[in-house]
A = this chain, B = another copy of it.
């Protein structure tokens, strides 16, 4: 949540002039995106105003992946899934360079991100996720998942028991658990491009309807059911993972299956996929926690929020996927 780079109005106006979007009339740096700087831009052209998100890629993003990320938005924006399109410049380029960094102009979509979803909202999120999977099936560019179950296991092993125990005494157990999850990871499940980070803050809603899926910077080619498991882990718990909201979890899966019913092998794999989803966030949060200086003015996310989810999934809480 930051704007890492200051851009002058003159530099912004000069950039916007390369696009066929009219004149710049407003630009506000917005506190969104963990690894990019973002501005909410308004332009005026021929009697109407338009809004865009200008993203500057700061770190964590491999620039070689930009054709994948920005092309994916273009591909999905023509489908029934509400995904913002990439605005191309007058020469047709999907991104430009500014101050030595890559920037892209992306369609602005209205909507707000809910903190505590209702079942109706969760159902629609599930349905839109399935629409997105279906629409992405024929996207020709591939990007491997570099945060799979084996990576979670090795990240946690590298953190080490001592460092994990300093965060919370319950965390070192994640090392062996992640190894076990990686060893029994299902392969051969149906794939498409998956979002793989569909937390509530990456979904824009207007009332019960999904008005936008955003922030595809973890998107990759992997099992669709794994994406549903990530979304389940991200949406179905309250109170830092202590409270499983069964109505939300059920609505999410029912919504998904209303568009794309899970195949039997996907259904059977859900418990381990959900454990792997929890491990993916335990491992990255633990790593961030350990690598972030104690006095840094950033919000550290507690890996325990997902360790509780992991334990819930491992222990088959209420047979949630049966």
Contacts and interface: CB of A to CB of B under 8 A. Distances in A.
B27 A30 contact: no
A296 B26 CA distance: 30
Interface string A16-45: 000000001111111110000000101000
A1 interface: yes
Interface residues of A, number: 35
Contacts of A111: 25-26
A112 B12 contact: yes
A29 B170 CA distance: 35
A144 interface: no
Nearest to A204: B26
Contacts of A318: none
A159 interface: no
Contacts of A10: 114-116
A108 to B, nearest CB: 8
Contacts of A32: 28-29
B42 A110 contact: yes
Nearest to A38: B28
Nearest to A11: B115
Q: Which of A28, A113, A297 has the most CB atoms of chain B within a 10 A radius of its CB?
A: A28
A26 B113 contact: no
Q: How many copies does the complex hold?
A: 2
A8 interface: yes
A84 to B, nearest CB: 13
Contact of A112 (B24, B112, B115, B206): B24
A42 B114 CA distance: 16
A213 B297 CA distance: 31
A115 B297 contact: no
A8 B27 CA distance: 23
Given A30-B31, A31-B3, A295-B293, A116 B8 contact: yes
Contacts of A27: 112
A3 B3 contact: no
A297 B3 CA distance: 12
A147 interface: no
Given A9-B205, A11-B115, 19 more contacts: A1-B3, A1-B29, A2-B31, A3-B31, A8-B115, A8-B116, A9-B112, A9-B113, A9-B115, A10-B114, A12-B112, A25-B110, A25-B112, A26-B110, A28-B28, A28-B31, A28-B40, A29-B31, A31-B31
Interface of A: 1-3, 8-13, 24-32, 40, 42, 110-116, 204-206, 293, 295-298
**Which 10 interchain pairs have the tightest Cβ spacing?**
A8-B115, A29-B31, A9-B112, A3-B31, A28-B30, A297-B297, A25-B110, A26-B110, A9-B114, A27-B112
17 contacts: A2-B31, A9-B112, A9-B113, A9-B205, A10-B114, A11-B115, A25-B111, A26-B110, A28-B28, A28-B31, A28-B40, A29-B32, A30-B31, A30-B40, A31-B31, A40-B40, A297-B297
